[in-house]
Amino acid sequence: MYMLRHSLACIGLKCAGGRVQRVFFIRGRDINVSPTDSGCESISGVLDSLNRFLDGEDVPFDPAVLDFRLCTGYQRGVLRVVMGIPRGSTMTYAEVAGAAGGGPRSVAGALARNPFPLIIPCHRVIRSDGKPGGYQGGVDLKVRLLEMEGAHFKI
């Protein structure tokens, strides 16, 4: 496991076979967990990109470093749509469902299990009423990310 400590969030990354398998938010007492080296060649670039992203830069992430094998076929389709949402823009769960298939609740479920938050910007998906909706990193972080990117939404 690798760890990135930033003022906005503490993030863990799990790698295997040279690819990122999971990005997750570390909270509470788990924040003191010791990172371990698991042999991911591309990790330094990913960590640098995540740090720059959290600093407010418009950073493109390369999906080739991500291991999608643990995702369902439906989830991969949803994540592909979400990868295309530009910085400063949002889509509603219903709009993502229209592009990926399924319904808004199935999209919300797929994004709740997004193994690559921040890299695949599920924080850019909001409710149909314009409010942020839920987020793995917490609603406060979702609001801060959307504000940092200049996106329009309701609080």
Residues annotated as catalytic are 122
Backbone φ and ψ of 24, nearest 5°:
-145, 155
CA gap 18, 12 in Å, rounded: 16
Q: How far is CA 151 from CA 50, 60, 100, 147, in A?
A: 19, 17, 22, 6
Letter for the amino acid at 52? R
Q: Is the dihedral of CA 129, 107, 96, 63 positive or negative?
A: positive
Longest distance between any two alpha carbons in the chain, whole Å: 44
Radius of gyration of the chain (CA): 15
Residue 122 DSSP one-character state:
G
